[in-house]
Amino acid sequence: MRLMSDHNRDNECGETSSGIADSEAEHPPGTKILRHHVSEDEGGTRLDVFLARHTSEAYSRTYLQSLISQQRVQVDGSSVNKASHRLHGGESVQIIIPPAVPSTLEPEPIPLDVVYEDDDLLVLNKQRDLVVHPAPGHYSGTLVHGLLHHCENLSSINNIMRPGIVHRLDKDTTGLMVVAKNDTAHLHLSYQLQKRWMEREYLALVHGVPDVKKGKIEMRIGRDPDTRFKMSVVRSGGKRAVTWFRVEGVIDSEHALLRCELETGRTHQIRVHLSYIGYPVVGDPLYAPEYDDYGLEGQALHATRVAFEHPTSAEWLEFESELPDDVQDVIGRLTVCN
Catalytic residues: 170
Q: What is each CA distance from 302 to 257, 258, 298, in whole angstroms?
A: 11, 11, 11
Phi, psi at residue 173, to the nearest 5°?
-85, 130
Q: Name the nearest CA neighbour of 203 among 248, 251, 168, 268.
A: 248
Distance CA 51, CA 260 (A): 28
CB-CB contact of 26 with 68 (8 Å): no
Distance CA 214, CA 187 (A): 33
- How many beta carbons lie within 10 A of that of residue 129, not counting itself? 11
Largest CA distance in the chain: 71
Helix (H) or strand (E) holding 26: none
